[in-house]
Structure 1
Amino acid sequence: MTKFWMALGLVLLSGAAQALEPGERLAPWTLSDQFEQSYTLDGQLRVLLVARSMDGAKLVEQALAERPKGYLEERQALFVADISRMPSLIGSLFAIPAMRDYSYRVLLDREAAVVPQYAAPEAGVLWLQLDGGVLRERREFADAAELRRALEQLQP
């Protein structure tokens, strides 16, 4: 019986999200945004902002408040939000329509197919600095003002 529990533990651990390390290439993926427009990860992206929760998404919203439309795209940055835990009815009737008023694109990870592979923090935002699709740096933000300052340092 003990062998069974050990084997089960190993299986569960092997399925746990492993943080992507600097020097590793991000696996390609395709997600749709709040307008149902698809985006496929490519080598042109410089910064990927990742949020696992509503708190993280709100932090991005605060950091981008009063920023013009296209602000992230000019900086070759995108934001992906894990909305897999959101009830689909709430998402389709309220949350996603509200996101259409944002001045930035939100890539929606509806099935938790992308966000978990980056081991993003539960309450904050993960910043993945990329070069040609390869991770160069991981940063975590829990403060909107700090995230805003970091985004302002990116040259369009």
Structure 2
Amino acid sequence: MRRRLLGAALALFVAAAVAAPVEPGAALPSLQLSDQNERPWRVEPGTRFLLFAADKAAGDLLQETLGADGAGWLAEHRALYLADLHKMPALVTRLFALPALRALPYAVGLVRDESVAAWPQRKGQVTVIELADGAVVAVSYAADADALRRLPVAVP
């Protein structure tokens, strides 16, 4: 009986963590992820924007916009790139997505489970989550490169 109760309590805890809302005024849920090179990846204090690509089209848009100077652009905007790969078949991830991501000159946090499935997202658009002190300030969407380029530059 104890095992069942403990299992039920654990399941509720995990469900609550997964269901944590990403909306203005809420704290950004903690993410313990790795990047495309298997290094630890997390949202550092001082991060101003989290750029979330929930599908391939959003990832392509973000990568095209960042271009060759993606690391500099991300640093200048105090932004991080987060990609959701959990819906992608493992073979496709291993043979195509990871090699392409490893060629990028900046870190990409990789989600490989359903922990962000309920996060705000629109098909083919980058979700732009603005942060201040670890809390969500605003959520918007970028449907094209111009919308991403309009993000304000971080002031030191």
Partner of 1:103: 105
CA contact (8 A) 1:79 1:105 kept: yes
Partner of 1:25: 27
Partner of 1:137: 138
After TM superposition, the structure 1 stretch with the greater mean CA deviation from structure 2, 55-64 or 42-51, is 42-51
Does the C-alpha gap of structure 1 residues 110 and 71 become closer, same or farther in structure 2, counting only changes over 3 Å? same
Partner of 1:5: none
1:132 & 1:79 partners in 2: Cα distance? 18
Q: Are 2:52 and 1:44 aligned?
A: no
- In the TM superposition, residue 43 of structure 1 has moved relative to its aligned partner by 2.9
2:70 & 2:23 partners in 1: Cα distance? 32
CA contact (8 A) 1:51 1:126 kept: yes
CA deviation digits over 1:37-63, x for unaligned, max 9? 112334321110111100000110111
Partner of 1:127: 128
Following superposition, which runs of at least 4 residues in structure 1 exceed 3 angstroms of deviation?
14-19
- In the TM superposition, residue 97 of structure 1 has moved relative to its aligned partner by 1.1
Match of 1:35 among 34, 37, 45: 37
**Root mean square deviation of aligned Cα:** 2.3
What percentage of residue pairs aligned between the two structures are identical? 33
How many residue pairs align between the two structures?
A: 140
Tell me the TM-score normalized by structure 1.
0.79
What code does the residue aligned with 2:67 have? A
CA contact (8 A) 2:43 2:80 kept: no
CA deviation digits over 1:12-55, x for unaligned, max 9? xx999685221111121111111101123343211101111000
Partner of 1:58: 60
Does the C-alpha gap of structure 1 residues 68 and 129 become closer, same or farther in structure 2, counting only changes over 3 Å? closer
Does the C-alpha gap of structure 1 residues 33 and 103 become closer, same or farther in structure 2, counting only changes over 3 Å? same
Tell me the TM-score normalized by structure 2.
0.79
Does the C-alpha gap of structure 1 residues 63 and 107 become closer, same or farther in structure 2, counting only changes over 3 Å? same
